[in-house]
Chains A and B, each alone.
Chain A
Amino acid sequence: MISELEMGKAESELELGLGLSLGGGTAAKIGKPGGGGAWGERGRLLTAKDFPSVGSKRAADSASHAGASPPRSSSQVVGWPPIGSHRMNSLAAKSAREEEEAGKKKVKDDEPKDVNKKVQVGFIKVNMDGVAIGRKVDLNAHSSYENLAQTLEDMFFRGNPGTIGLTGQFTKPLRLLDGSSEFVLTYEDKEGDWMLVGDVPWRMFITSVKRLRVMKTSEANGLAARHQESNERQRK
């Protein structure tokens, strides 16, 4: 009975990304995620379109929004954060106005500036294929790729053997950096290019990384050659 429940749970957890977006009738007062747009403005090795997050796709399909333009939200979850609809609409209208203004200004590398946004050095977003909810990680709190990979493994796979993590899979020690697991760790650098993590010295990495993505190895086709190369190198 327990294992059946766990299995059922595993399925529904895997679908957390889907279910959360589908559930709740007037689901999409939260509206469409900025998912597709946020990932890339210019040509690079790989784009988010090559690695569609299951969560964001479903959200985009099922979302129909009322009235106000949707807020850009990294987590495409109904009713989260728990803000009433009046307030949510107000925020949406505000960010739409700001985007409009930002669009008129010179386009920078980063996302259109939210005038209230303070960039906190060190925290960057991490998304994982198949998981709707993104996380943030403080690069300053890490000293090496090993360190970082461990944190990410803990984050997405919970670290405690036998527990269900964000992805709904039973944890198994994951080696994100050595190519032995079904996921690889990639990052987008300041130029908008997507690279495999581990290629450059750590210090160089932290100054150029903009965001991270835990990608299915099978999808990381274009990076395969690099991947083999980095295997031969010493990890820093």
Chain B
Amino acid sequence: MDLRLPSKVLEHILSFVDSNEDRNSVSLVCKSWFETERRTRKRVIVRNCYAVTPAAVARRFPEMKSLTLKGKPHFADYNLVPDGWGGYVWPWIEAMAAKCPSLEELRLKRMVVTDECLEKIAASFKDFKVLVLTSCEGFSTDGLAAIAVACRNLRELELRECIVEDIGGDWLSYFPETLTSLVSLDFSCLDSEVKLSDLERLLSRSPNLKSLKLNRAVSLDALGSLLRLAPQLVELGTGSFSDKLDQEAVAKLSQAFSELKELKSLSGLWDVLPEYIPLLYSVCPGLTSLNLSYATVQMSDLVELITRCSNLQKLWVMDLIEDKGLEVVASSCKELRELRVFPSGAGLDETNVAMTEQGLVYVSEACPNLESVLYFCVQFTNTAMVTIARNRPNLKCFRLCVMEPFAPDHKTQKPLDEGFKAIVERCKDLQRLSVSGLLTDKAFEYIGTHGKKLRMLSIAFAGDSDLMLHHLLSGCESLNKLEIRDCPFGDTALLENAAKLKTMRSLWMSSCCVSFGACKLLSQKMPKLNVEVIDEHPLETRPDSSPVERIYIYRTLAGPRLDMPEFVWTIHKNPEIGVSHLAIK
């Protein structure tokens, strides 16, 4: 008796299974479920572009409509990954163009995207709709023009914090008059001015536009006319907010803002002048997301805005808000889920010291839904962390950046071990943690013991010895990504816990004490991992005992990559010649 579900029935059932996690489970049941699942999956996410080959992915999911790829490791954001390391999207676009021409959406993070790539996208995917590039680089505004001119049904074009060679603002004028499908446009990271008339015409013919994030070059004056053309906006990123406007212009702008009945998210506000803060009052009550992290106004002005934002769920702000301002956040924003506080100065001496650990304590006390925190602060105390943990056991993401490396509890001068212990002990669902300040191995023993749901952990300038790494690798069961810089540990823990590395996506260590010999040994032991030694200043001959600058280890089905630059070594390269014998082949 054949007990299998007919594949058509199974297909129908699977069409209701949306989450990729569930689909991954489905694909493991049996061969026929694997087959049906793979033929029906529309959204594919590859979180490490080197973990699998483009060809394999294209082959497995022929009906792919949406592809998400991530390239460089997270610490690339802080310039710890040298230029030229990798993360090229070209091979993926080539493969998809050949095998999955009905691809509609491409979302890339930390990848190298060239103008050729953008041109190929424009040429290959007839129904291309969505391009979201986050922290990408390698392309110019010419590439954007190629996308604009060719993608007739473009819905989303978002450039988030990309490094773009900005040749000029002409690219915007390449959107054809027939393009009316735009839903989201984000060019906030570009420098050049776009022609206002092009932008106005684009907005006039985009009735579905919901999200618009302008760049700094768009003046305050221009903003008024743009808002009048798009009162249906749900997300707005303003341009520079600091031009001098006459009274009439101010009144008109105020009116334009008050027409934004659907607005939920506000960002931009570069260099906003205090006298313009009242312009925003009318949209405040509706806001769920407010990004003031580029707004260089003082606490009193920030507070004026925030008291009016009772529905805020996400707040990004600079430490200019001070403890007093965070007290206001605590009392006004009861729905707050995510808080990020960035430093207002680039160095320790410039950071605002009127913001301390107390600010975060206030918010943790009063905001019951707070689950994600990123907090830059000069110093911190254990007591504060214990209080925060007690107040908010529902924290999922806790990233504390004590800006002064090795800073102890500034009241007791003790390490911050006990504080982080409280965090991992009480916040049982904690998935992401960044630690800082003075920490001994004990802190990591606590994290290893209690951080069972921890998936991502970031560590800098901490610990005493190998024990630190050992606690983490042997204790944190759910650990997926571990990134470490400037910590004094070396080979033993790494080699002892080698097997753990297969259960993780990646491990990054820079400026630690890992020896070249250990890297070789690890590579030999673990063929399913790519162990990359990234040394820009390698010694002429590399003795086994010499420490490596950086090591990046990730699990992969694709084997060693073929696009490694000179300064990346893996065991597949001849250490003397430094050339990959695979490349020669």
Q: Are A26 and B83 in contact (CB under 8 A)?
A: yes
* In the assembled complex, A209 has its CB within 8 A of some CB on chain B: no
Q: Are B536 and A163 in contact (CB under 8 A)?
A: no
Q: Bound state CA distance, A95 and B112, in angstroms?
A: 30
* In the assembled complex, B77 has its CB within 8 A of some CB on chain A: yes
Q: Are A120 and B353 in contact (CB under 8 A)?
A: yes
Contacts of B83 in A (CB 8 A): 25-26
Q: Bound state CA distance, A116 and B351, in angstroms?
A: 8
Q: Are A94 and B296 in contact (CB under 8 A)?
A: yes
Q: Are B79 and A27 in contact (CB under 8 A)?
A: yes
Contacts of A27 in B (CB 8 A): 79
Partner of B550, one of A23, A118, A163: A23
Contacts of A133 in B (CB 8 A): 404-406, 461
User: Chain B nearest CB: distance from A174 CB in Å?
Assistant: 16
Instruction: List A105-120 residues whose CB lies under 8 Å from chain B.
Output: 111, 114, 116-120
Contacts of B343 in A (CB 8 A): 81, 83, 91
* In the assembled complex, B207 has its CB within 8 A of some CB on chain A: no
A23-B550, A88-B346 known; A13 vs B488 contact (CB < 8 Å):
yes
Supply 19 A–B pairs (Cβ within 8 Å), ascending by A: A4-B545, A9-B488, A12-B511, A16-B511, A23-B80, A23-B510, A23-B536, A24-B80, A25-B81, A25-B536, A29-B79, A74-B347, A79-B78, A81-B401, A83-B343, A84-B77, A118-B352, A120-B354, A155-B406
Q: Are A85 and B163 in contact (CB under 8 A)?
A: yes
User: Chain A nearest CB: distance from B63 CB in Å?
Assistant: 35
Instruction: Mark each residue of chain A from 23 to 44: 1 if its CB lies under 8 Å from any CB of chain B, else 0.
Output: 1111101100000000000000
Contacts of B84 in A (CB 8 A): 25
* In the assembled complex, B486 has its CB within 8 A of some CB on chain A: yes
User: Which residue of chain B is the closest to A97 with respect to CB atoms?
Assistant: B271
User: Chain B nearest CB: distance from A48 CB in Å?
Assistant: 15
Contacts of A91 in B (CB 8 A): 343-346
User: Which residue of chain B is the closest to A118 with respect to CB atoms?
Assistant: B354
Most buried by A among B343, B348, B407, B490: B348
Q: Are A125 and B344 in contact (CB under 8 A)?
A: no
The 10 closest A-B pairs by CB, nearest first: A25-B82, A71-B346, A73-B347, A79-B78, A120-B353, A91-B346, A118-B354, A82-B78, A24-B80, A79-B80
Q: Are B347 and A117 in contact (CB under 8 A)?
A: no
Instruction: Mark each residue of chain B from 61 to 83: 1 if its CB lies under 8 Å from any CB of chain A, else 0.
Output: 00000000000000101111111
Q: Are B511 and A72 in contact (CB under 8 A)?
A: no
A25-B81, A82-B77, A82-B401 known; A136 vs B345 contact (CB < 8 Å):
no
Q: Are B345 and A116 in contact (CB under 8 A)?
A: yes
Contacts of A74 in B (CB 8 A): 347-349
Partner of B545, one of A8, A77, A116: A8
Q: Bound state CA distance, A26 and B550, in angstroms?
A: 14
User: Chain B nearest CB: distance from A74 CB in Å?
Assistant: 5
Q: Bound state CA distance, A138 and B492, in angstroms?
A: 38
Q: Are A116 and B161 in contact (CB under 8 A)?
A: no
Most buried by A among B403, B405, B536, B545: B405
* In the assembled complex, A19 has its CB within 8 A of some CB on chain B: yes
* In the assembled complex, B293 has its CB within 8 A of some CB on chain A: yes
Q: Bound state CA distance, A205 and B75, in angstroms?
A: 43
User: Chain B nearest CB: distance from A32 CB in Å?
Assistant: 12
Q: Bound state CA distance, A19 and B458, in angstroms?
A: 20
* In the assembled complex, A75 has its CB within 8 A of some CB on chain B: yes
The binding surface of chain B is classed by DSSP as loop
Q: Bound state CA distance, A121 and B545, in angstroms?
A: 47
Q: Bound state CA distance, A22 and B354, in angstroms?
A: 33
* In the assembled complex, B413 has its CB within 8 A of some CB on chain A: yes
Contacts of A20 in B (CB 8 A): 486, 511
Instruction: Mark each residue of chain B from 492 to 526: 1 if its CB lies under 8 Å from any CB of chain A, else 0.
Output: 00000000000000000011010100000000000
Q: Bound state CA distance, A80 and B486, in angstroms?
A: 11
Q: Bound state CA distance, A80 and B407, in angstroms?
A: 14
* In the assembled complex, B294 has its CB within 8 A of some CB on chain A: yes
Q: Are A135 and B407 in contact (CB under 8 A)?
A: yes
User: Chain B nearest CB: distance from A203 CB in Å?
Assistant: 22
User: Chain A nearest CB: distance from B456 CB in Å?
Assistant: 14
Q: Bound state CA distance, A85 and B78, in angstroms?
A: 7
Q: What 4 additional pairs, Cβ within 8 angstroms, besides A24-B80, A25-B82, A134-B348?
A: A71-B346, A90-B270, A91-B343, A133-B405
User: Chain B nearest CB: distance from A179 CB in Å?
Assistant: 25
Q: Are A163 and B464 in contact (CB under 8 A)?
A: yes
Q: Are A81 and B376 in contact (CB under 8 A)?
A: yes
* In the assembled complex, A164 has its CB within 8 A of some CB on chain B: yes
Partner of B353, one of A19, A26, A79, A118: A118
Q: Bound state CA distance, A27 and B510, in angstroms?
A: 13
Q: Are A81 and B403 in contact (CB under 8 A)?
A: yes
Contacts of B348 in A (CB 8 A): 73-75, 125, 134, 136
Q: Are A24 and B510 in contact (CB under 8 A)?
A: yes
* In the assembled complex, A225 has its CB within 8 A of some CB on chain B: no
Q: Bound state CA distance, A87 and B79, in angstroms?
A: 13
User: Which residue of chain B is the closest to A132 with respect to CB atoms?
Assistant: B405
Partner of A92, one of B346, B354, B405, B549: B346
* In the assembled complex, A204 has its CB within 8 A of some CB on chain B: no
Contacts of A81 in B (CB 8 A): 343, 346, 376, 401, 403
* In the assembled complex, B307 has its CB within 8 A of some CB on chain A: no
Contacts of B298 in A (CB 8 A): 116
User: Chain A nearest CB: distance from B440 CB in Å?
Assistant: 9
A83-B342, A86-B189 known; A154 vs B413 contact (CB < 8 Å):
yes
Q: Are A84 and B352 in contact (CB under 8 A)?
A: no
Contacts of A114 in B (CB 8 A): 345, 350
